[in-house]
Structure 1
């Protein structure tokens, strides 16, 4: 039944995709983030829905009469540079066969990210994109929160098998990034019961993140909540809510959860943590030796034998930062960090420019909540191999479109000159009259 439902939704939506490519971009986000076909048990599990949606969207983009030009923003241009850099590192990969297989997957994600940047323009498009992300990830948050309550927190919450967020740690990070987006949408819901439902979804998603037993997720949710509180207009009420709800959630979790979280400060005795550190040393040493890094899928015994302190402990990077360093060298790391910095700066500019303009209040709130999501990703991603997970790139597309909307309402951004030092004011000829000839 689930397989039939997903199939009907996809093929029923293709005519709308052909009419407007923006719907194709949203459908791609839904199928690639939520992976609804993984919730079935039949033919839909391996059916190429993503491929069909991508091809239909590209056809629609070519035949569309809308102005779907590529946005030339600092974020999009830096992402292009990052893609070009990956195209440069892949031919020199240590393990070519595995690298090219991963390269194909990553380039598909980047291609559709660029398509999304082209088709999402209006406020309504941005709003729909955030809704699709919230529904896609919030489904697992609500489901996981209910599971945590039912099991008393004794069983771990996992994501959909075979996806970016299938691992318990990755799912926790995904849910933490979703909570600020839920908070943004909640303010636009007109009915009280809808706002209460969204609040419940936020609470269940947070509980599911705790129920994943992810130590990195705990650090990420703390950083995200602190940032959201700092951006709140009602800091006293927000602080009271955090003081009331957070201890209740922590007290609900069983002793075994607390014992696992306690190992954060005792990483030397944790075999998993030491394995990650060993992989980080390997990546750093490889980047020092190979200017372009090791290429995609370089976590093989040979790489650890050459560069790791402990050659026998073969692990994935378990860090977005060391993953890009290992696979694409110091140059790739610099580009990726610049990409994150530019995204953060663009969101900050949106908040600053939209402040005081009631018609752009939505833009300021969205930009601030995307920053909260990025805080969670930046902290939690330090312990996860999620460099190519598509959601952060989709949020970049939302930031680009939102900044364009702000500029459309307020005019282009101006760079103000520095004030001149105090002194004798400069007067032009119109004020002083003709200059006197020198004697």
Structure 2
């Protein structure tokens, strides 16, 4: 039943994407981030659903006139140059053939990120993109939070199998980054019960992150919490939510969770932590001796034998910074950091310049919470290998498009439209609206 449901949704939305390719961006995002097919048990589990979504979107992109240049701001320019540098690094890396699957996976994500920047340009598009991106993770966090509470935190939470966030550590960071973006969406809601539901979801996402038993996640959520409160326009409720996490969720966690967290202070006695530091040393040495890095992965036995200090065991970097450094060298790391600094500054511009206009206040909310998201990624990413994950790139696209929307005063030429009209079903909606008006008039007689 699950298989039929997922395949039916993908099929219908892929057909809609041929006429409205922006819908294909939503479909791709849902599949890429949430991986709903990984929760099925039949033919849909390994079906190429992401390829169907991407193919329909690209085909629709060829024929639509509703597209724009993807280079809507400096972050996208840095992103493009980074893409070229990564490709160059792969071609001249240590194992281009063996690294091809990873390069192919990353470039597909990057391509669809550029496609999103080309097809999304209205306020409706941007907020819908935020809902799909954040909602996909919020559902996983909701599920993981309930599991953590019911089990008293004795078992770890994990992400979808075969995804970027399959590991408990990466899953925790993704959920943490989703919390401030979920708050942005909460600020756009008008219904009281929906706002309360969003607050509960954020709390359960925090519980899910804690339930991952990830030390990096604890550092990320600690660093992000203060900025989250500072940037929020509803400091009272946010302070209350942080208090619930500290006073209710933390005491619930079992003793072995606390023992693991305490190893943050005694990292030199922890074999796992020292293994990461050894991998960082190797990444540094690889970048020093290979200007463009080792390729899509520097985890080669020969490199760890040459440069390993504590041992020669091949391990992942467990850091976005050292992962990029070892893979793509100092140039790749410079471009990577420049892109995120540029995105952070663009988000700050939104928070500063879009706050006082009622028409653009939503963009200011987006900028403020995007900055919190980027800080969570910067802190948590220092201890996790999540350099190529979709979420922060999607947030960057939202910020760039929202800034463009504000700068061009797009609200002056955008007429409010519904999802049905954007999806090409406006005639159906107008017909139903006419029926409702007629029925109302007859009832008054």
TM-score (ref. length: structure 2): 0.90
Distance 1:410 1:129, change over 3 A: closer
Q: For structure 2, which runs of at least 5 residues remain unmatched after alignment?
A: 412-445
| Range moving further from structure 2, 184-193 or 220-229 | 184-193
Cα-to-partner distance string for 1:210-240 (whole Å, 9 max, x where unaligned):
0000000001111111111111335456445
- Aligned partner of 1:277 in structure 2 is 277
The answer to whether residue 401 in structure 2 is matched with residue 401 in structure 1 is yes
Cα distance in 2 for residues equivalent to 1:310 and 1:265: 19
- Aligned partner of 1:194 in structure 2 is 194
The answer to whether residue 40 in structure 2 is matched with residue 26 in structure 1 is no
- Aligned partner of 1:62 in structure 2 is 62
Mapping for residues 32-181 of structure 1, pairs under 5 Å? 32-181=32-181
- Aligned partner of 1:424 in structure 2 is none
SS in 2 for 1:387: coil
Mapping for residues 246-285 of structure 1, pairs under 5 Å? 246-285=246-285
8 Å contact kept, 2:297–2:326: no
8 Å contact kept, 2:206–2:245: no
Cα distance in 2 for residues equivalent to 1:61 and 1:46: 26
Cα-to-partner distance string for 1:132-156 (whole Å, 9 max, x where unaligned):
0122101110100110111111111
The answer to whether residue 1 in structure 2 is matched with residue 5 in structure 1 is no
- Aligned partner of 1:183 in structure 2 is 183
Cα distance in 2 for residues equivalent to 1:237 and 1:137: 22
Cα distance in 2 for residues equivalent to 1:300 and 1:355: 50
Cα distance in 2 for residues equivalent to 1:273 and 1:139: 31
SS in 2 for 1:358: coil
What RMSD over aligned residues (CA atoms) do the two structures have, in Å? 1.5
8 Å contact kept, 1:285–1:308: no
- Aligned partner of 2:440 in structure 1 is none
Distance 1:189 1:330, change over 3 A: same
Cα distance in 1 for residues equivalent to 2:190 and 2:237: 21
| Range moving further from structure 2, 37-46 or 89-98 | 89-98
| Range moving further from structure 2, 64-73 or 173-182 | 64-73
SS in 1 for 2:160: coil
Cα distance in 1 for residues equivalent to 2:319 and 2:243: 31
8 Å contact kept, 2:203–2:245: no
Alpha-carbon distance, 1:313 to partner = 2.2
8 Å contact kept, 2:176–2:205: yes
8 Å contact kept, 2:72–2:401: no
- Aligned partner of 1:425 in structure 2 is none
8 Å contact kept, 1:215–1:261: yes
Cα-to-partner distance string for 1:304-349 (whole Å, 9 max, x where unaligned):
0122213422100100000000000001000001001000010111
Cα distance in 2 for residues equivalent to 1:88 and 1:233: 44
Alpha-carbon distance, 1:70 to partner = 2.5
Cα distance in 1 for residues equivalent to 2:168 and 2:296: 23
Cα distance in 1 for residues equivalent to 2:114 and 2:153: 40
SS in 2 for 1:316: coil
8 Å contact kept, 2:305–2:312: yes
Distance 1:37 1:234, change over 3 A: closer
The answer to whether residue 335 in structure 2 is matched with residue 338 in structure 1 is no
Cα distance in 2 for residues equivalent to 1:42 and 1:275: 39
Cα-to-partner distance string for 1:268-309 (whole Å, 9 max, x where unaligned):
111110000000000001100111111112202111012221
8 Å contact kept, 2:121–2:401: yes
Cα distance in 1 for residues equivalent to 2:153 and 2:67: 50
Cα distance in 2 for residues equivalent to 1:241 and 1:138: 16
Cα-to-partner distance string for 1:366-425 (whole Å, 9 max, x where unaligned):
1111111111111111111111111111111101110011102299xxxxxxxxxxxxxx
Cα distance in 1 for residues equivalent to 2:161 and 2:135: 18
